[in-house]
Structure 1
């Protein structure tokens, strides 16, 4: 029940949408094969899982709490990645992930800061001589 001065809460069926996302892409015999996952999220499933595990281990915001209702870590990360991959707005992502605009924007901000914290030392640094040699060798192959 919402307060009188606030807009009415809308039942977005978050839990059902989270279950559908898992069934569509993340369970063993998912509805869509890996090629669909790659096309939809612009990355392979194993890379998504690697990022999700790293993000969940670094920031507990992305881990579903016992008393939380419905929003699974995949939903928050999928919403964020769809904003990056397609340049979508929070309102567009809301229709897919069934999360509120404020939750999507908070997920985006926390995801960005978490990725920066995790990967800055490895990927967001000036290349060293060893990196340059490795890339040149890879280019020759």
Structure 2
């Protein structure tokens, strides 16, 4: 009986310790973050900002302005006790750290000085805002006008007929269930899920296909991807271009050596002679 009482008391004390709020000095961290990246003559140059945020500062500012107008959650305001809350730069930094680097909430806490629940809420709200703000403009397939622009740009760069670069990558699944590890194990012994994507010259990612098990090869991924549905149905864009006195009528994607030898793919030449 005494042992059970002691265990219950210890459990209650542990719960109280977990329930205590931690003073993360969020205001001082927000000030440091601004001095590091977001003020004139900041500590780190633009090149470091681009490397760590995966975008230019002006693009970050535009996204932050749009999202703050869309969702007032990201605007800095006083809490119930009158204490000034988190900066929008801190909230967006937290979301981008998780999206760009796959960081956990604990890792982001060290960078932005935010609680786990706040970090996860920032992530969910950020994704919701991006979806609703930019889906019609960016998260879509190219229109006929877009395709013409892509073709013209590719031709000026020496790739007539190319409408995008295609590649796929393995995204590691750290907490893959034991029962699924055989299907999701890749050749490196890791558990992963495959992401297939197509991007234009200006990094407009206009096609993504995610969810194939890491044990699948490139043909299996292509067989499940919806990117060739239009090609199979005869609805692919009709274009005409000439290379080496040969006229072609179908667009192609620039790919690496792992893709099959199909007309839809053009692979790079390792040692060009001219």
Compute the TM-score of the two structures, normalised by the length of structure 1. Answer: 0.92
Mapped to 2, the partners of 1:5 and 1:11 lie a distance apart of 13
Mapped to 1, the partners of 2:131 and 2:17 lie a distance apart of 38
Contact 1:18–1:70, Cα closer than 8 Å, also in 2: no
Deviation at 1:42, TM superposition (A): 1.3
Mapped to 2, the partners of 1:76 and 1:62 lie a distance apart of 7
Give unmatched runs, 5+ long, in structure 1: none
Aligned residue in 2 for 1:73:
88
Contact 2:78–2:85, Cα closer than 8 Å, also in 1: no
- Tell me the number of residue pairs that the alignment of Structure 1 and Structure 2 aligns: 139
| Larger proportion of strand | 2
Mapped to 2, the partners of 1:83 and 1:25 lie a distance apart of 18
Sort the Cα spacing of 1:70 and 1:134 in 2 relative to 1 into closer, same or farther, 3 A: same
Match of 2:66 among 54, 57, 66: 54
Give unmatched runs, 5+ long, in structure 2: 1-14, 157-274
Deviation at 1:136, TM superposition (A): 0.7
Mapped to 2, the partners of 1:130 and 1:81 lie a distance apart of 31
Sort the Cα spacing of 1:126 and 1:40 in 2 relative to 1 into closer, same or farther, 3 A: closer
| Larger proportion of helix | 1
CA radius of gyration, larger in: 2
Match of 1:117 among 108, 129, 132: 132
Does residue 1:133 correspond to 2:157, yes or no? Answer: no
CA RMSD of aligned residues (A): 1.6
